[in-house]
Structure 1
Amino acid sequence: MEETMASIFEEKTVEQAIQKASKALDIPKNKLNVEVLSYGSTGIFGLVGIKKARIRVQPKLEHKTGYHKEKREKPSQEKLPRENLLQEKAPQEHPPQKNLKETDTDTPDIPQPPLEEIEAFAKDNLAYVLDKVVDHSVITSTLENEGVALQVESENSALLIGKHGQTIDALQYLLQRMVHKKYPGRVPVILDIENYRNRREASLTSLALRLAEKVKHSGKPATIRPMNAYERRIVHLVLQPVREVTSRSSKGAGHLKKMTIFPKNSRSSRNKNAATTKPAKAPGPATS
């Protein structure tokens, strides 16, 4: 059997390199064997140390002699006996079924990098960012729930956490974007500073339960000042077992939204007091 030479392709990402190979070889992506030689690097903020992704591709077994097969000439029906024509036109009793794995997908199996590699990438980039903001910080990382958890200790943790946790949320979002750009598998990245998130969860839990008791006794709704999606989810989960109240987030396109706790089965009371209820202050971040 003739051995087909493998081809090397480079692009900004592995997916773009596969698309380039598919177009150059005129072979669907799901008919290629892909070996990732390098996942590339976006460098620091996409400016320094950029490296392209590099792959080696080879047509799968059924395509090693070329994707486009020559059309075979059909025998002329005039030369066939009548019995053969009838057999040829008869429908198959059990038509062959499609192989869904081969025909219903257009994406080859891309080897996923080990989590340890993603962990090191996230830790290095976070260290670079923090070095420009604070004088000294210590970063520890662990692998949790198929994701990367980063914990930071710093003498200036208040600056890194920010008012109501806005800075730590921004840092986490930036870090996630950097990781997801290099590794498209959507590996979750969680950033915590001086155990802030656990302390914040505890304070929100206490506030939600306290307001729930107030709503149950007064029959009037209570509103919590704007929170991000992560904090709103904490409050919703805390209040789920409390049967006498329900919670709802305000509508809008902003990142921060208010939450209102309503007494159940009291629609008229809710409509009457929703407009005049003053927001309760959510506890600020406890910083060390």
Structure 2
Amino acid sequence: MKKVTVTAKTVDEAIAMALKQLNAEKNQVTVTILEEPSKGFFGLIGARLAKLEVELNINPIEEAKQFLQEILAAMDVQASIEVKKEKDHTLFEIMGEDLGIIIGRRGQTLDSLQFLVNTVGNKHSDSYLRIVLDAESYRLKRRQTLEQLADRLAHKAIKSGQIVKLEPMPSHERKVIHTFLQERKNINTYSEGQEPNRYIVIQAKR
């Protein structure tokens, strides 16, 4: 329940009723008075109750976090979620043991969960939210692996004079490689193919 319409003798009584129904505090809701109360003639004839619409203010980050907690519980994963505000995104650090099941092969399960969590968060947000999921520092380890791969294949492209095609990978992983190699004056990188089979091409400059 996110919104209720209530009536009572006074505005304060109506708000109290709504807060009880929503299980919320006053600072968590927006109150719209639809009808002011009126005592009427001699306090009897034409008396009118206060009518209010009270809406729960939804925190998109909390909604996304709760959604993720429900998924983890359904997967029978015992874990907690630590929320960290970063410069350009919000990090959900999943804390627990044996989290391989939510990481998946090359992070595919983690990426899928991240997509769903972002969908839920942005559904309740007026501006675009970017939520990044991580577990067991997988993102850092994966970035280091990708940078090592990029370095090795760049040397291969230079030495052989041939273009080198990487395997398909998601856009955020391609960005890691593009960024890592962009300062190298003797290397060009670009992407080819259609999602989800888009891949990076490394080419030595002539």
Q: Same fold (TM over 0.5)?
A: yes
Judge conservation of contact 1:119–1:143 (CA < 8 Å) in 2.
Answer: no
Following superposition of structure 1 onto structure 2, how do residues 140-219 of structure 1 map, counting pairs within 5 Å?
A: 140-145=82-87, 147-219=89-161
Judge conservation of contact 2:63–2:120 (CA < 8 Å) in 1.
Answer: no
Distance apart, 1:174 and its partner CA: 0.2
Deviates more, 1:177-186 or 1:228-237: 177-186
Structure 2 gaps, min length 5: 5-18, 23-28, 35-56
The structure 2 residue matched to 1:227, chosen from 158, 166, 169, is 169
Partner in structure 2 of residue 249 of structure 1 = 191
| Larger Rg computed on CA atoms | 1
Distance apart, 1:197 and its partner CA: 0.5
Q: State the alpha-carbon separation in 2 of the partners of residues 224 and 168 from structure 1.
A: 21
Judge conservation of contact 1:205–1:238 (CA < 8 Å) in 2.
Answer: yes
Judge conservation of contact 2:61–2:121 (CA < 8 Å) in 1.
Answer: no
Question: Which AA in structure 1 matches 2:116?
Answer: L
Question: Which AA in structure 2 matches 1:175?
Answer: V
1:226 counterpart SS class: coil
Question: Which AA in structure 2 matches 1:159?
Answer: I
Q: State the alpha-carbon separation in 2 of the partners of residues 218 and 206 from structure 1.
A: 18
Judge conservation of contact 1:249–1:260 (CA < 8 Å) in 2.
Answer: yes
Following superposition of structure 1 onto structure 2, how do residues 9-28 of structure 1 map, counting pairs within 5 Å?
A: none
Q: State the alpha-carbon separation in 2 of the partners of residues 239 and 55 from structure 1.
A: 54
Q: Are residues 257 and 195 of structure 1, via their aligned partners in 2, closer, same or farther at CA, if it must alter by over 3 Å?
A: same
Superposition TM-score, scaled by structure 2 size: 0.69
Superposition TM-score, scaled by structure 1 size: 0.51
Question: Which AA in structure 2 matches 1:181?
Answer: K
Aligned-residue Cα RMSD (Å) equals 2.8
The structure 2 residue matched to 1:129, chosen from 53, 71, 74, is 71
Identity %: 26
Q: Deviations over 1:72-119 (max 9, x none)?
A: xxxxxxxxxxxxxxxxxxxxxxxxxxxxxxxxxxxxxxxxx79xx433
Partner in structure 2 of residue 258 of structure 1 = 199
Q: Deviations over 1:18-51 (max 9, x none)?
A: xxxxxxxxxxxxxxxxxxxx9xx9xxxxxxxxxx
